[in-house]
Amino acid sequence: MLQIHDNEDSPAKSRSFRNSEQISSTPGALVNTTRKREDYLEWPEYFMAVAFLSAQRSKDPSSQVGACIVNQENKIVGIGYNGMPNGCDDDLLPWSRSADNQLDTKYPYVCHAELNAIMNKNSADVKGCTMYVALFPCNECAKLIIQAGLKEVVYLSDKYHDTPQMAASRRLLSMAGIMYRQFKPKRTEIVIDFNSINYPGMLNCATK
Ligand SMILES: [Zn+2]
């Protein structure tokens, strides 16, 4: 089942419960299966969730970041997560954040999610597209985003806002006319349960 945790009470939810006609297999949960769902994922939540799901592929022990590039038709044209370059053994390269020698940290080697999403594109280019990314992009990724012709960045966290890299990134993105905005999720959590497909109305019934 998909567990959806709202930050606020939703009128749509109580309406759907009032019209309930079917009792799901989840104890206490009433599910309306005669009308369209009201609490389906909206596009921005969906794309950000795809970015977060992609991040689950990352082998980085301290930071898992995903990015999802979407064209003007709401079609996904690129997905990426942070990792070592293709053909470079991620068992041999370092993953630590600090060391006496910078060459013994991950930083000179790792490819950021934004880079991988752009390089993984399945379209001719990503001009005019929007990138959904978990973290505000660093200055190196800002350069890539600009040169690739993206028009907008939607990020979730800005936890490194006060670093020089992020200040440089904002400066570059602003000069290049690329919009960036923080995504404020209505839900705090989306849980994927593979068993949900075996139950009627499964996605509606698991709201906590
Ligand atoms: Zn970056």
Give the pLDDT of residue 28.
47
Check if 114 is active-site. Answer: yes
Per DSSP, helices labelled H in 65-138 are 113-119
* pTM, rounded to two decimals: 0.82
Residue range 70-129, pLDDT digits in tens: 999 999 999 999 999 999 999 999 999 999 999 999 999 999 999 999 999 999 999 999
Phi then psi dihedrals of residue 49, to 5 deg: -65, -35
Give the pLDDT of residue 65.
98
| Residue 105 contacts residue 99 (beta carbons within 8 Å) | yes
How close is the Cα of 65 to the center of ligand 1, in Å?
Answer: 10
**Angle 164-175/139-148 helices, nearest 10 degrees?**
20
**Ligand 1 being an ion, which residues bring their Cβ within 5 A of it?**
112, 138, 141
Q: How open is the CA angle 149-154-158, to the nearest 5 degrees? A: 120
Exposure string (b/e) for 64-93, b if CB count within 10 Å is 16 or more? bbbbbbbbeeeebbbbbbbbbeeeeeeeee
Residue carrying structure tokens 């602003």: 174
How close is the Cα of 25 to the center of ligand 1, in Å?
Answer: 45
Catalytic annotation, pick one of 21, 73, 114, 189: 114
Q: Please, what CATH class does the domain formed by 43-182 belong to?
A: alpha beta
How close is the Cα of 85 to the center of ligand 1, in Å?
Answer: 14
Whole-angstrom distance, CA of residue 82 vs CA of residue 51: 11
Give the pLDDT of residue 202.
66
Strands 152-157 and 76-81, bridge-based pairing: unpaired
How close is the Cα of 193 to the center of ligand 1, in Å?
Answer: 31
Give the pLDDT of residue 185.
93
Give the pLDDT of residue 108.
98
Q: Which residues of the chain fall below pLDDT 70?
A: 1-32, 201-208
How close is the Cα of 55 to the center of ligand 1, in Å?
Answer: 14
Per DSSP, helices labelled H in 35-89 are 43-55
